[in-house]
Amino acid sequence: MRNLFYCILILFCVLTSSISHAGEPSEKFSQALVIKQIKDLLNSEGLNFESSGMIVRDITDEKSIDIYNHQADKLFNTASVMKIFTTAAALEILKPEYRFSTYFYSDSEIKNGVINGNLYIKAGADPFFVPEEMTRLINEFVLLGVQKITGNIVIDTSIHNDADRPAGWNPEKFSHAYSAKISPLTYSFNSISVRIVCGNNGKPEVFYSPAVSGIKVKNNAKIIRKGKETFSIEVKPDGNNEVIVLNGTVRRNKSFTKYLSINEPEKYFARALTDAFKQNSIAFRGKIKFGNVKKNPVLILEHKSLPLSTLVASINQYSNNIMAELLLRHIGHVQYEEPGNSKNGIKAVSSFLDSQNLNSSELQQKDGSGLTPDSLASPRLIASLLANMSKRFDIGPEFMSSLSSTGGMGTLSKHLQEQPYYRHIRGKTGFVNGTIAVAGYVKTVKNRHLVFCLLLNDVNRSYRDVWDTIIDEILKQLVQL
């Protein structure tokens, strides 16, 4: 009996050893299999293999190694992945602790709570002047004891001297918030959120935020029970007002939100400011005008933005186009000590790449956000920048933490939320005009550290379908390496 027991035990050990080795393929085979599966996915229906580029690089050790390379030296449309060039250059040129300053001057000192004369606003290109920042600004006026302004508000935007939108942006999309006008004096990203609530009949209800004076609603829309919807909405200028115009038909018992661009950003800011003055019993009855700050003005206060490290996270995690464009213009302003514009900003980005021994000729940048269709870069350059930033002790942590993460924050938050993929990928995503893109970092289950870039052009499938059935699968494969 004892001999039989030992025989069975030996047989069990042999079998389990065989099964164990059969279930653990060699590293070489595993990597080869992953690469094959990636190639198969890139050849999926609706994708153009010849119009796509990808690179995967292992940066675990000092000497990085390319694991996979498909047309990595060819230039492709990057969509919003372009933002990593803008934000990396900004962190280098401005530094993570940098804060944008909006200056408020007057003709004379504050006396007995009164500013006698004009209030001058010297725009500082703060890209994140949201309603919470307006509250903070007004608190600063209140702490100074300001109770009355006798003159006008004069807005000075001379810090930048560029067009209100990059030349390559699609005019048909100008009504959308993601294509809002660029101004060195912004409020709420120069956009407005409009909530439409439909009952059973009649007209839909309209709610908007932020609630700024001078915003009007012209509701021509009708609720229908059946038939084709013809609903449209846009914001039109009307003298000193902005009018939300609703037309067409919309189905009953539904609600949705539209994000729209504002036509006059500087006046939008000024109206929000005067509304806040009124709410805090600061008397102002003047007009809103444009001009330069007069010589030898009296500085009332300097309002500082959140630090650049925080702003860069908002840009990269949520792909904010307006913030990226302001940042591009501003690094041109700081680098060359001239009024900010896209041309100098692009020049500053190129100079930054050259300083890092990266091939700037593989970047054809047209804007700061990637919304322009002919903004191009090679997957190799993008991967090289990512690898470079991972080694920068001074600005690398702020850059890497600014990216969205799977299951975490930003545009990747709803992707790969389960283990072992949760927070194993940090990246920047992009989508525009048939281009779907993603680039970033991977920590694999075998504790390897990778950088990758995938640029898909001429895509003939829906964004969500490509992400759910192709890109998520590619990312899963990378995590397993």
Residue 115 inside a domain? The answer is yes
Question: Above 50 in pLDDT, residue 5?
Answer: no
Percentage of the chain beyond pLDDT 90 is: 92
116 and 240 in a single domain? The answer is no
Structure confidence at residue 63 (pLDDT): 87
Residues 109 and 81 placed together within one structural domain of the fold: no
Tokens of 305: 């933005």
CATH number of the domain residue 319 falls in: 3.40.710.10
**Same domain, residue pair 79 and 113:** no
Q: Kindly report the number of other CB atoms within 10 A of residue 443's CB atom.
A: 17
Cβ contacts of 17 within 8 Å, gap of 6 or more: none
Give a yes or no: residue 5 inside a domain: no
Mean pLDDT across 200-218: 96
Whether 8 is in a domain gets the answer no
The answer to whether residues 349 and 86 touch, using CB atoms and an 8 Å cutoff, is yes
Note whether 106 and 129 are within 8 A (CB). Answer: no
Q: Identify the pLDDT of residue 222.
A: 97
Q: How many domains does the chain have?
A: 3
What is residue 415's predicted lDDT score, i.e. its pLDDT?
Answer: 95
188 and 239 co-located in one domain: yes
CB crowding 378-414: b at 16 or more within 10 Å, else e? bbbbbbbbbbbbbebeebeebbbebbbbbbbbbbbee
Q: Which of 213, 240, 265 is the last residue before a domain boundary?
A: 265
Residues 260, 240 share a domain: yes
| Residue 230 included in any domain | yes
Give the pLDDT band of residue 13 (cuts 50, 70, 90): very low
The reply to whether 431 and 370 lie within a common domain is: yes
Contacts of residues 472-477 at CB distance under 8 Å and 24 or more positions apart, as own/partner, are 472/415, 472/416, 473/37, 473/41, 474/38, 474/41, 474/42, 475/406, 475/415, 475/416, 475/421, 475/425, 475/438, 475/442, 476/416, 476/421, 477/34, 477/37, 477/38, 477/41
Question: Can you give the residue range of the structural domain that contains 409?
Answer: 28-97+308-479
Position 216 in a domain: yes
Q: In terms of C-beta density within 10 A (0-12 exposed, 13-18 middle, 19 or more buried), how is residue 375 classed?
A: buried
Cis link prior to 210 (omega < 30° from 0)?
A: yes
Average pLDDT over residues 341-350: 98
What pLDDT, in 10s, does the model give residues 382-396? 999 999 999 999 999
- The answer, yes or no, to whether residue 206 has pLDDT greater than 60, is yes
Task: Judge if 338 and 431 occupy the same domain.
Answer: yes
Average pLDDT value over all residues in the chain:
93
3 pLDDT band, cuts 50/70/90, is low
CA torsion sign, 171 to 175 to 179 to 183?
Answer: positive
Does residue 15 lie within any of the structural domains? Answer: no
Is beta strand 148-149 parallel, antiparallel or unpaired with respect to 283-284? Answer: parallel
Let me know if residue 17 belongs to a domain: no
Taking residues 108-112, what's their average pLDDT? 95
Say what the pTM is. Answer: 0.92
End-to-end CA distance of the chain: 47
- 275: domain CATH number is 3.50.80.20
- pLDDT score recorded for residue 65: 94
- Res 31 pLDDT > 60: yes
Residue 118 lies in a domain: yes
Same domain? 299 vs 335: no
- pLDDT tens-place string over residues 221-249: 999 999 999 999 999 999 889 999 999 99
Which is higher by pLDDT, 402 or 226?
402
78/212 same-domain check:
no
